[in-house]
Amino acid sequence: MTRETRTRRGFLAACAAATGSAVAGCSVATSDESDLDGGGGSQPASTTPEGSTESTVPAAVAGDQSYVAAYSAVEDSVARVRVYTANGTGGGTGWLYDEDHLVTNEHVVAGANDVYVRFPEGGWTRSEVVATDVYSDLAVLSPDSIPESATPLTLRREDPPVGTEVIAIGNPFQRTGSVSAGIVSGVDRTLRLPNDFSIPDAIQTDAAVNPGNSGGPLVALDGDVVGVINAGSGDNVGFAISAALTRRVVPSLIEVGDYEHSYMGIRLLSVDPLVAEANDVEQGVGVYVAQVVDGGPSDDVLQGSTGDTTVNGVSGVGTGGDVILAMDDTPIEQQEALSTFLALETSPGSTVDVTVLRDGREQTVELTLGSRPEPP
């Protein structure tokens, strides 16, 4: 653990001790776990032999201090990003990943001629774009200078439980240093990209996310980053690239300048009622291989649709394709599970055992993964 991490956790611990500890006469929640699970509920009042009285601080008010502590612990490490392109000016948010680098979204710096960043302490400073990855929508920046008050933030190792309280920090509509609060509404989401690929393992939140938040950190109340804010999608629905995926992509962007994503070369469909009836399989089990890309890793290994039929008046429902049930003994119940397995558990060149249902019979085939092609 670095000195910076110890300092941040020390700050959070001090704030918790000041506002949420069950010292004599205090009637609020005492643990970080309570905060993460939506705590702040009151406990029975306690007294001491000296006659200390019951706390007059409402539990809800004391619980709110967790947001204050989390924001105060990370705000100095979150920067505004300004981008100049041939078409004008844009921007978003970034946050300090290590002593030399910021993380933001690829779409924030796409097409940039010049990039500047500004931390809460200090003015604008020029920044180099170290590398970008369109398939994860992540980018790494290297500012010319970083203030001493900015310390690297910590990425959580696993997805947070649904219901975890979080804050989104960024610069929506150029309102610098804004924070919004919410919970983790869902995990293992898939974000569709305009290039026919997707970002797996995304985090869904109901914390307000608006233009300018892109690239900012989604932070749990313990100060850990649980995701990199990517997009808003209507009222009370925002998304972030998971910390788990960020932990895989960003080091490679820094060290070698790119990141290779595993690639199967197939087009998938959910096993919905129409597909299930057309192929005489149980609805909702596995994912259906609609097409295998010619010359791709799955060519001559997996089987796509060999025909089509009409089901309940709907024509063109594919038949004859494999239904993927598992990969390396990991159950694949839906497309999100397959995408997350590929992204977090494999690398290009890995050989995986794929269990499929083919022509009514379960069998296992070996598939050597390739790399996603260069984006168009």
Any idea which residues carry the catalytic annotation?
107, 137, 214
**Cα–Cα distance for residue pair 149/144, rounded to 1 Å:** 15
Which of 146, 13, 2 shows the shortest CA–CA distance to 70?
A: 13
Residue 95's Cβ-count burial label (10 Å; 0-12, 13-18, 19+) is: buried
What burial letters (b/e) apply to 276-288, b meaning 16+ CB within 10 Å? bebbebeeeebbb
Which of 97, 25, 94 shows the shortest CA–CA distance to 62?
A: 25
**Cα–Cα distance for residue pair 185/143, rounded to 1 Å:** 33
The CB density around residue 245, as the number of other CB atoms within 10 Å, is 25
Q: CB neighbours of 251 closer than 8 A, spacing ≥ 6?
A: none
User: In this structure, is the dihedral angle defined by the CA atoms of residues 45, 51, 52 and 56, taken in order, positive or negative?
Assistant: positive
Length of the chain: 376
Residue 27 has phi, psi (to 5 degrees) of -120, 40
The CB density around residue 144, as the number of other CB atoms within 10 Å, is 10
3-state secondary structure of 338: helix
The alpha carbon of residue 108 and the mean position of all alpha carbons in its chain are separated, in whole angstroms, by: 16
Token duo for residue 313: 């008046």
DSSP state at residue 98: S
The CB density around residue 218, as the number of other CB atoms within 10 Å, is 30
User: In this structure, is the dihedral angle defined by the CA atoms of residues 3, 7, 8 and 9, taken in order, positive or negative?
Assistant: positive
Which of 235, 243, 169 shows the shortest CA–CA distance to 201?
A: 243
**Cα–Cα distance for residue pair 250/248, rounded to 1 Å:** 6
What burial letters (b/e) apply to 71-93, b meaning 16+ CB within 10 Å? bebbbbbbbbbbbeeeeeebbbb
